[in-house]
Structure 1
């Protein structure tokens, strides 16, 4: 168990490694090591700079960057002195950034690149903002260079008693971070997490996950999202090494060069890998793949227990197929974790039948984040595992999951009214998720606010149905419609890479994506896929109308949150005309 009281305790554990490797970063010649000693010097140097600027205990410092070593240095430097960091997603617009900087009262902001710097300029006047620092080299009007600020770092790499005392002086109850929620249904709110909140969560969420000293992990999910940040802290605390990957596009190559033992991803990463494998399988290869999956399914119970089946057919399937899937992850992964959104039982079982257990967990920004997780000691597919030991959970009369524990946030920044709404009268945090607990394992069936209620009075949980649809690789995303409607319909955002290949194979000639989405053959194909899913649904859940949109939904275009959840309000507004069209008499 990680014995931590503050996030600064994590940094103290890094510092104790001395010459040992703490992180890996890419340069022109490949990956290079950053020692713990080097990181200590950089954090210490930047903390001195912040103090020289007059940044004090409790002051807010914002940060917008891809996953880079600089992110960790800024984060640890801010926290070392009891200041508060405000991590912002690099996909935010200038207006969104302006709102969060003004709302938090940030005195300084660190940004990674010219693109992010230009957003700060476009955001306009921020009364509280005194300093802008850019990671990348170049001249930026009114901004400072991180490289120049860290020029003295090599001379500060030896342990310093005064700096270490400052680290230790920060208390568990001190505010560590303000993290703005993704805002799937409304205005983002600043979640206040203390050092104690996050440390309490790390103490128990990593038990029975077999993370070992020296384990490598690729840090590529946005560190502005609490799940990625939490695992990075935990890995550092347990002696792991983080390889910082700024671009998701570099993930396949990074997996081959880094060969991680620990792999954390959102479900969409696993879904895309599955889709790529299935799409490459044609003819005899498809026959072999299906045969191998059959062998895996026959021995699924053993794999679920972590036992390598010894049956001849399974061993042959492992050699021909399963080993190649493991190789796509680098061939050394021991721990596969999914978080940020529901994985879906179809994807879970497909990977199980490939010999891979994906450990799904569940949590929220407001709970620092982990509420429950599957582990090597307790694993049940289709659930999000057992509630961590220092968290209590109960199911309210309307099915909503409520939790209580030391990692539950202390409130929303400058928003007492919103905070009060999120807690019951007896102090339990209302997650907004519908769940059930059976034999100690928690299952989440849907978001309470996202349940659809048809005009006939039937409640429908959209996520399980959407996950069934997305199990087909030619569907990128799906959004169920039906709230206060007489029947259920769906908007489908295609996986255009797969759709364009299908179009060529089926003689569909289209000049652009809009024409492709309108094509009669394409429409028929998607309706048939929906029809197959309808076969597994109750009559009142069946999808009656299908609209294929000419857009591939993304974080950048605003239809998805950074953790790949649907922004339903955005989607409903964007496609209002198409939705209205499906319900015309």
Structure 2
């Protein structure tokens, strides 16, 4: 068996161990087109030879700006096999970020998915006078097509790829990933073959051996999905790409995956839809649904609730929760959640429904997994992100910051020695997250930079508050504000689907978000939800005022990062006047809703 020391070794490893017939699959014209490991290898090799024919050399930068599709993987491996560096770019990137990355990384070639992205890149290329070749994955008349490089490689089949591969070591740069972050200019995170492979090898044991098929919809441009896909190749798991975020439900039904990765926001939406359907039931069915839901929220691992609870749960799983599993394709064995904090009540209810949601934690700089909950006995603890991977060290600094050291940690930021020395001290990477270790399990409490002080000198952890308030089915998005103010407040985007149903039941005729957020009864309803969820927090932490927003925070609107984290400064700037109105009156008890 070939020794794994570079990421591209995964292909020959998969061929030797599994010979996967559908290692990649995508839907074209209503049919699933499947690619075997042999096709994967031959196409990637052709891309490698084609790039060499175009004079792309070791350490040159080649970018991919596309949604998930097999061509992404073919080009990724084609790039890495010649020692060039792949630079992934989100299809949703703003033009100023595109311009920065293309210039900073000195990109030679970029693969894009569509005409729309092609035009965006062409505009930046012309404006900045860049020496850049652009190829499309979609076949578009008169535009350079990615298969031209593949064909060029096939015409030059005499190029000995093994010579180029042999010059690549585990410490060579594999990828340069620009983190959008929630503030500031993008930073290029340098990750080597060893960074990624070490993370693959120590994350893989968390996956049950029965898993052979996965659905993928999180962007490959993000290190989370990319590392997981490398792990799928290592484990012989077939990767089926969802057509889009809008078709996930239909694709789940078709593919019947054993696993998929997700972010909490999507799980929250799934849960809210399920609960909304429960409200539509009547009589005995409705009673049974909410009985099962209550049981799910009380779930404890390893039968700790006792025999009577387990008997009830078995009935609930058969009558109610089996339909949840069916909605996810019927064969789901586990879901991995990352990118943000998962509400503990969601983890409990999904486990109660016999759907194992494994919350993990990491950053781009750590390739990414630092810790993850596992599916087996003793591997999960609710309210934590799991145990630290076996090849990493974690310690908590005096100020509560999580520090990590190990083979998956980046050595540096690209062209940013200042950022490198600030973040990596004596080999320890400073994550910027606040946390604690509980019986070997890591718990995250907040982002260090997001914790703020009120005017009274009390510390507020916004993430803890936000996660709690999102338990309300009437709250879709929330951002806590109040730095240097007398008390914390919240900007809230209601869940308008659920709110419209409630409004209809309560004789409110308004249906548009702009009208609903101004309705007195609606304002009172959301304030009642906040009041209930405030209980349990210290008086100084409790939200005293709220403002309802009609427009959702989005990636396109600039309020969210591609992994759906809130860009706090952007949201605050866009809602500056509203925040000023919140604090115009010093009396926290006067007009709770602005």
Q: How far, CA to CA, are the matches of 1:538 and 1:439 in structure 2?
A: 26
SS in 2 for 1:543: coil
Q: How far, CA to CA, are the matches of 2:540 and 2:434 in structure 1?
A: 20
Call closer, same or farther: CA 1:178–1:303 in 2, change over 3 Å: farther
SS in 2 for 1:43: helix
Aligned to 1:236: 233
Q: How far, CA to CA, are the matches of 1:309 and 1:7 in structure 2?
A: 49
Aligned to 2:109: 108
Decide whether the 8 Å contact of 1:109 with 1:129 is kept in 2: no
May I ask how many residue pairs the two structures share in their alignment? 578
Post-superposition shift, 1:137? 1.5
Call closer, same or farther: CA 1:396–1:19 in 2, change over 3 Å: closer
Decide whether the 8 Å contact of 2:278 with 2:290 is kept in 1: no
Decide whether the 8 Å contact of 2:243 with 2:251 is kept in 1: no
Aligned to 1:335: 334
Aligned to 2:206: 208
Call closer, same or farther: CA 1:297–1:516 in 2, change over 3 Å: closer
Q: Is 2:186 the counterpart of 1:217? A: no
Call closer, same or farther: CA 1:310–1:543 in 2, change over 3 Å: closer
Q: Is 2:255 the counterpart of 1:254? A: no
SS in 1 for 2:385: coil
Cα RMSD after superposing both structures: 2.4
Encode CA deviations 1:79-134: one digit per residue, 9 max, x unaligned.
Answer: 01000011011111222111111111111100000111111123243455421001
Call closer, same or farther: CA 1:170–1:128 in 2, change over 3 Å: farther
Q: Is 2:518 the counterpart of 1:515? A: no
250-259 or 120-129: bigger deviation: 120-129
Call closer, same or farther: CA 1:359–1:3 in 2, change over 3 Å: farther
Q: How far, CA to CA, are the matches of 1:101 and 1:215 in structure 2?
A: 38
Decide whether the 8 Å contact of 1:345 with 1:382 is kept in 2: yes
Encode CA deviations 1:10-32: one digit per residue, 9 max, x unaligned.
Answer: 23224445572211110113212
Q: How far, CA to CA, are the matches of 2:322 and 2:163 in structure 1?
A: 49
Decide whether the 8 Å contact of 1:4 with 1:203 is kept in 2: no
Aligned to 1:27: 28
Q: How far, CA to CA, are the matches of 2:380 and 2:19 in structure 1?
A: 37
Aligned to 2:351: 352
Q: How far, CA to CA, are the matches of 1:286 and 1:574 in structure 2?
A: 42
Q: How far, CA to CA, are the matches of 2:67 and 2:2 in structure 1?
A: 27
Decide whether the 8 Å contact of 1:8 with 1:170 is kept in 2: no
Q: Where does structure 2 lack aligned partners over 5 or more consecutive residues?
A: 586-594
Trace 1:96-495 onto structure 2 (pairs within 5 A): 96-123=97-124, 124-140=126-142, 143-151=143-151, 162-164=160-162, 166-212=164-210, 215-282=212-279, 283-284=282-283, 285-296=285-296, 300-302=300-302, 311-377=310-376, 378-424=379-425, 426-495=426-495
Encode CA deviations 1:450-488: one digit per residue, 9 max, x unaligned.
Answer: 002111111111112111111223211100011111101
Decide whether the 8 Å contact of 1:211 with 1:235 is kept in 2: no
Q: How far, CA to CA, are the matches of 1:309 and 1:269 in structure 2?
A: 33
Aligned to 2:88: 87
Decide whether the 8 Å contact of 2:24 with 2:239 is kept in 1: yes
Decide whether the 8 Å contact of 1:3 with 1:203 is kept in 2: no
Decide whether the 8 Å contact of 1:360 with 1:374 is kept in 2: yes
SS in 1 for 2:189: strand
231-240 or 129-138: bigger deviation: 129-138
SS in 2 for 1:533: helix
Q: Where does structure 1 lack aligned partners over 5 or more consecutive residues?
A: none
Trace 1:507-546 onto structure 2 (pairs within 5 A): 507-510=507-510, 512-546=512-546
Call closer, same or farther: CA 1:138–1:487 in 2, change over 3 Å: same
345-354 or 125-134: bigger deviation: 125-134
Q: How far, CA to CA, are the matches of 1:296 and 1:268 in structure 2?
A: 19
Q: How far, CA to CA, are the matches of 2:427 and 2:57 in structure 1?
A: 32
Decide whether the 8 Å contact of 2:20 with 2:238 is kept in 1: no
Call closer, same or farther: CA 1:78–1:309 in 2, change over 3 Å: farther
Post-superposition shift, 1:438? 1.6
TM-score, normalising length from structure 1?
0.94
Decide whether the 8 Å contact of 2:298 with 2:349 is kept in 1: no
Q: Is 2:564 the counterpart of 1:558? A: no
Decide whether the 8 Å contact of 2:432 with 2:447 is kept in 1: yes
TM-score, normalising length from structure 2?
0.92
Decide whether the 8 Å contact of 1:302 with 1:309 is kept in 2: no
Decide whether the 8 Å contact of 1:4 with 1:200 is kept in 2: no
Q: How far, CA to CA, are the matches of 2:232 and 2:2 in structure 1?
A: 10
Call closer, same or farther: CA 1:207–1:12 in 2, change over 3 Å: same
Q: How far, CA to CA, are the matches of 2:61 and 2:401 in structure 1?
A: 34
Q: How far, CA to CA, are the matches of 2:458 and 2:553 in structure 1?
A: 28
Decide whether the 8 Å contact of 2:2 with 2:13 is kept in 1: no
Q: How far, CA to CA, are the matches of 1:343 and 1:447 in structure 2?
A: 14
Q: How far, CA to CA, are the matches of 1:394 and 1:490 in structure 2?
A: 33
Q: How far, CA to CA, are the matches of 2:48 and 2:153 in structure 1?
A: 11
Q: How far, CA to CA, are the matches of 1:286 and 1:579 in structure 2?
A: 41
Decide whether the 8 Å contact of 2:299 with 2:348 is kept in 1: no
Aligned to 1:574: 574
